[in-house]
Structure 1
């Protein structure tokens, strides 16, 4: 695998199943028409889709991974769904590896505003990246990206995410391969507007049962809190007078 933007090597399996945890700070910055800047802590998993982690005993309630939470057919595996999605775009990994960065189910609940898949061929070369975006209305859309050596990629916005942001503009994404540190960002550029920027910074730990328990105790009910915080921020913006943009009828991309 090639080196990532920070100079670290791409992920080396941290546990027997290759899974790792990233304790993160997520920041959203909006500068107009109303300034809103907030940061909160959470944690995410990086897993090999060929070896999804299975926690022992009661810890399984702290780390669940289901195909129904992501792109594709809920009856198939996460890896099979990624392969089928890539096949639609004439990409064949030929027994390569897929790493997914996402939140896990915790006590039956999951919410992933963004899941990222780094897709490698059998020689360990990065072929593409899938950015899977979810909104709070149950919608899902996938962006297929070919980042440069620094992890930079651009794509047109095609999906309704926030009730205060129209479906137009260009995403400028920085999605370098995770190493010991995680440093991702998404900037939305729109005509005549200041950009909206979301950034994610984190540090890696091996996903051992002990670390899973410690992280879950330090950051309890992470997916529930992420979902709640996004809604609270939306209510605050509405009460401050930000105009709501009607949600269009959605065609869910990547979901059967």
Structure 2
């Protein structure tokens, strides 16, 4: 979704809408920053605060919408292009935890050293408590491909330089049309609810197995 032209990208229909009820809706409060400020302004401010650079080009968001009134995104990705819309200059990955609904944005503006194809990469320290079964003493390694006909995001967790977890997201581009959205809604009607259910189901399994439990740092 191009957040610099939301009203044009998501013209109102029975399937979707912006800040109004629909089967799939974009609600400002579901995303980065102060809901009283436009998402575009909030994202550009965070990019400026974290990098010292000004980004004036289009910003495209990879995320879940609010489906049937419910929205939860463990992570959303903001791809920031240059003013001529020819190349990506930075990527912002915003992580949201549950049940606290806290958010933290990691900004990646460095290209990786990979010679095979252009990527963006970063190795930030963990800044947000995302699970009671992981401590805060972790480092991340993030690798992003460029958003073309397909894209991928690969993230690893390290504790004391030992990899303890990794996950990969691989997607293919589809046109943003009534037909493709209706197909997605029919195939995955309760997608964001299932995301939350699976997160909590995995937590129950880990609890039963007596995995180490880490209290939220702010609750200690």
Q: TM-score, normalised by structure 2?
A: 0.86
What's the CA shift string for 1:155-198, capped at 9, x where partnerless?
11111011111112211111122222221111011116442112
Q: Which residue of 1 aligns with 2:4?
A: 50
Q: Residues 241 and 192 from structure 1, CA distance in 2 versus in 1: closer, same or farther, beyond 3 angstroms?
A: farther
Q: Which whole-Å deviations, capped at 9, do the CAs of 1:2-58 have from their partners, x for residues lacking one?
A: xxxxxxxxxxxxxxxxxxxxxxxxxxxxxxxxxxxxxxxxxxxxx111122325433
Q: 1:144 and 2:119 equivalent?
A: no
Instruction: Note if contact 1:62-1:104 (Cα within 8 Å) is conserved in structure 2.
Output: no
- Find 2:158's aligned residue among 186, 189, 203: 189
Residue in structure 1 matched with residue 132 of structure 2 by the alignment: 163
Name the residue aligned to 2:23: 62
Q: Deviations over 1:102-126 (max 9, x none)?
A: 1111122111101111112213343
1:117 aligns to 2:78 (yes or no): yes
Kindly indicate whether structure 1 or structure 2 has the higher relative contact order, using CA contacts under 8 Å at least 6 residues apart: 1
Counterpart check, 1:135 vs 2:97:
yes
Distance in 2 between residues matched to 1:144 and 1:192, nearest whole Å: 22
Q: For structure 1, which runs of at least 5 residues remain unmatched after alignment?
A: 1-46, 251-256
Aligned residues: 203
**What is residue 4 of structure 1 aligned with on the other side?**
none
SS in 2 for 1:50: helix
Tell me which of 49, 57, 61 is aligned to 1:88: 49
Tell me if structure 2 keeps the 8 A contact 1:55–1:209.
Answer: no
Provide Cα deviations, 1:82-104, integer angstroms capped at 9, x if missing partner. 1121232322123x111111111
Q: 2:151, 2:171 within 8 Å by CA — same for their partners in 1?
A: yes
Q: What TM-score comes out, normalization by structure 1 length?
A: 0.74
**Residue 15 of structure 2 contacts residue 23 of structure 2 at CA under 8 Å; is this kept in 1?**
yes
